[in-house]
Structure 1
Amino acid sequence: MLLKSHSQKFILLLGLFLILAAAMCASIVYGYARTNWTIAFKAFTDFNGSNEHIIITSVRLPRALIAALVGASLAMAGAIMQALTKNPLASPGVFGINAGAGFFVVAAVSIFHVSSLQAFTWLSFLGAAAAALTVYFIGSMGREGLTPVKLTLAGAAMAALFSSLTQGLLVVNEAALDQVLFWLAGSIQGRKLESLIAVLPYVTAAFIICGFLAPKINVLTMGEDVAKGLGQKTGTVKIFAAIAVIFLAGGAVSISGPISFVGIVIPHLARYFVGNDHRWILPYSAVLGGILLTVSDIAARYVVMPEEVPVGVMTALIGTPFFIYIARKGFDRA
């Protein structure tokens, strides 16, 4: 743990908020269409209907807001999952939750021709819930019960299954392939403010749930028996934690597609700064996740300009070495 006192943690958190705000401002200003800080400022204070002003207010502003929200959601979901499962590799991507949400959306598009944003949101929640329950059930089978290794293997298996089913649907339906291919790679390019508004109530509810659960998660991480001995209703805590993860991961996937590694990398970075207190880990994860995805999205615009790389590719480049390090470190201890 790098920071010892509450004042140090608060000051750094405030600094990270400022970095996130700066990254969002940079996301609004920089891109293929050449704009600058003066043009961006006038787009909000003296809008004149020019192409630059329309791009800033209608394209880049929603994109910056979505990047921050999706990054925060995935990072918080990963932090909760790692705490409850005691698994350093736990995240919506590794446990197949993102893949499950993505499969349900693709199935609805290719089979039932669904196009409603609200429908996408609920389908993502349903897919995330189905994947989470399946992984938990499979990981609990056997005499040893639930273990980090079994959970990881079950999650990897379900992620592979849902991904294969998704690819099968897209092979059969080429029209659906055109609609969702870039989204499946994890992208926030072209996302509208309506997509954010559709999931905002559910993600906000999940943030509130996480705030109430943080001290209870601290107790639960001490062990099931200890938590029960202190009077905690562990089953209720786990149910609400699962609801929060489903809302966070499902909401993120419905907007941006299945973006990997944010939920793995960020909680470990948060714990490096503030230790194992989830009253600090969760807000740190939210802000750091927003920074990571916003900065990754800016970088994705410049790698092969004038084309764009999906932001999921950028997070994979960052997260893969970290994943390998954590996998070796975590399983060497198991």
Structure 2
Amino acid sequence: MAVAVLALVLAAVLTLTVGVREGGFSLVWQALSAFDPNDPAHIAIQSVRMPRLIAGLIAGAALGMAGTIMQAITRNPLADPGILGINAGAAFAVVIGSLIAGRADNGLMAALAFPGAAAAAVAVFALGGGLKGDAGPVRLTLAGVALSAMLLSFVSAIILARNEALEVFRFWVTGSLAQAGMRPLGYMAIAAVFGACLAIAIAPRIEALSLGSALARGLGTKPGRIQLGALVAVTALTGAAVGVAGPVAFLGLLVPRLARRAGGHVLRRELIASAILGAAILLFADTIGRIVIPPTEIRVGTMTALIGAPMFIWMARRLRAGASA
């Protein structure tokens, strides 16, 4: 856990100091403590890098916790808001709302991520056999991949018909922290905190539910209510992440595996560790994407996919072989 905290601190420092305009820690401190509106470096730090840092903290922590909750409640090591289509549902709702309203970057549009994420979560759970009590890891994963492909096809069809929607499509399909200053960071932070508190509150009951529905009922746990609470928490966390950064894939897959080591297989500790690790990994990925081929920027969603896709293949092969993740 201490290593995770140090990694997050280092990632935050790099986010503020590394970029097209190089600036050391002293410059960052001056920009934050004695802001000079006539200094371009101070303006860049205050208006670009600081919102980027806040957005990375919100999205990374939210996606890390959402992935941990999803893997715990479904007992599926491949569960992830991106793989199971929840990110796609949130992004699809925002794209449709943006095109109807004619605006892409206000709080109302970002708020549409929440009903989109909830609808996608319910759809995947139903398609994966959850309503019949047969939601196995493979079925949930296939349902999520199919739903993501379908939603992406709908969005692509809209883009072909309306060229002005291309910029909206680029952000809400790939994911990026570049436009963080234009996002409703305060409201999304509140939603993420709500989802995090709910997840931590019901964590012991989720652990009981992982023992099996019959045993959980014997321990006084009501599976239906716990699953509903977990769905609300995942919706709030995923909606907040998509609202500030777009659909960032694979982060919710990578983080829970590391969090289990840091949290000692206690779900509450794992959730805290996943928030720290998720934010750190997302900020590192964003920094690398900004410096790897300057002055061009690789979007953070692309960077996490480059890391997460091989990890997903490796984990899927282990699951097929019957090994425990």
Is TM > 0.5 for Structure 1 vs Structure 2? yes
Return the alpha-carbon distance in structure 2 between the equivalents of residues 94 and 185 of structure 1: 14
Q: Shift of the alpha carbon at 1:276?
A: 2.6
Q: 1:102 aligns with which of 91, 98, 106?
A: 91
Return the alpha-carbon distance in structure 1 between the equivalents of residues 63 and 130 of structure 2: 27
SS of the aligned residue for 2:13 comes to: helix
Q: Shift of the alpha carbon at 1:202?
A: 1.1
Aligned equivalent of 2:141: 152
Query: Residues 82-93 of structure 1: matches in 2 within 5 Å?
Result: 82-93=71-82
SS of the aligned residue for 1:333 comes to: coil
Contact 1:24–1:65 (CA<8 Å) still a contact in 2?
no
* Range with bigger deviation, 247-256 or 113-122: 113-122
Q: Shift of the alpha carbon at 1:99?
A: 0.5
**Unaligned 5+ runs, structure 2:** none
Tell me the amino acid that sits aligned with residue 172 of structure 1. A
Contact 1:110–1:170 (CA<8 Å) still a contact in 2?
no
Structure 1 position 261 matched with structure 2 position 222: no
Aligned equivalent of 2:270: 281
Structure 1 position 126 matched with structure 2 position 115: yes
Query: Residues 201-216 of structure 1: matches in 2 within 5 Å?
Result: 201-216=190-205
Q: 2:312 aligns with which of 309, 318, 323?
A: 323
Q: Using a 3 Å threshold, how does the CA distance of structure 1 residues 143 and 129 change in structure 2: closer, same or farther?
A: closer
Aligned equivalent of 1:191: 180
Q: Shift of the alpha carbon at 1:117?
A: 2.6
The CA deviation string for residues 266-307 of structure 1, in whole angstroms up to 9 with x for no partner, is: 101111333432021111111110110000000010122101
Return the alpha-carbon distance in structure 2 between the equivalents of residues 40 and 116 of structure 1: 27
Tell me the amino acid that sits aligned with residue 29 of structure 1. T
Q: Using a 3 Å threshold, how does the CA distance of structure 1 residues 118 and 142 change in structure 2: closer, same or farther?
A: closer
SS of the aligned residue for 1:95 comes to: coil
Tell me the amino acid that sits aligned with residue 290 of structure 1. A
Query: Residues 1-334 of structure 1: matches in 2 within 5 Å?
Result: 13-49=1-37, 50-115=39-104, 117-140=106-129, 145-192=134-181, 194-333=183-322
Q: Using a 3 Å threshold, how does the CA distance of structure 1 residues 193 and 65 change in structure 2: closer, same or farther?
A: farther
Return the alpha-carbon distance in structure 2 between the equivalents of residues 83 and 116 of structure 1: 34
* Range with bigger deviation, 110-119 or 130-139: 110-119
Q: Shift of the alpha carbon at 1:180?
A: 3.6
SS of the aligned residue for 2:78 comes to: coil
Tell me the amino acid that sits aligned with residue 38 of structure 1. S
Tell me the amino acid that sits aligned with residue 25 of structure 1. V
Contact 2:285–2:304 (CA<8 Å) still a contact in 1?
yes
Q: Shift of the alpha carbon at 1:213?
A: 1.2
Aligned length: 322
Q: Using a 3 Å threshold, how does the CA distance of structure 1 residues 196 and 124 change in structure 2: closer, same or farther?
A: same
Return the alpha-carbon distance in structure 2 between the equivalents of residues 292 and 93 of structure 1: 16
Return the alpha-carbon distance in structure 2 between the equivalents of residues 194 and 90 of structure 1: 27
Structure-1-length-normalised TM-score:
0.92
**Unaligned 5+ runs, structure 1:** 1-12
Q: Using a 3 Å threshold, how does the CA distance of structure 1 residues 136 and 100 change in structure 2: closer, same or farther?
A: same
Contact 1:110–1:173 (CA<8 Å) still a contact in 2?
no
Return the alpha-carbon distance in structure 2 between the equivalents of residues 225 and 144 of structure 1: 12
How much identity, in percent, do the aligned residues show?
Answer: 38
Tell me the amino acid that sits aligned with residue 187 of structure 1. S
Tell me the amino acid that sits aligned with residue 186 of structure 1. G
Return the alpha-carbon distance in structure 1 between the equivalents of residues 258 and 132 of structure 2: 34
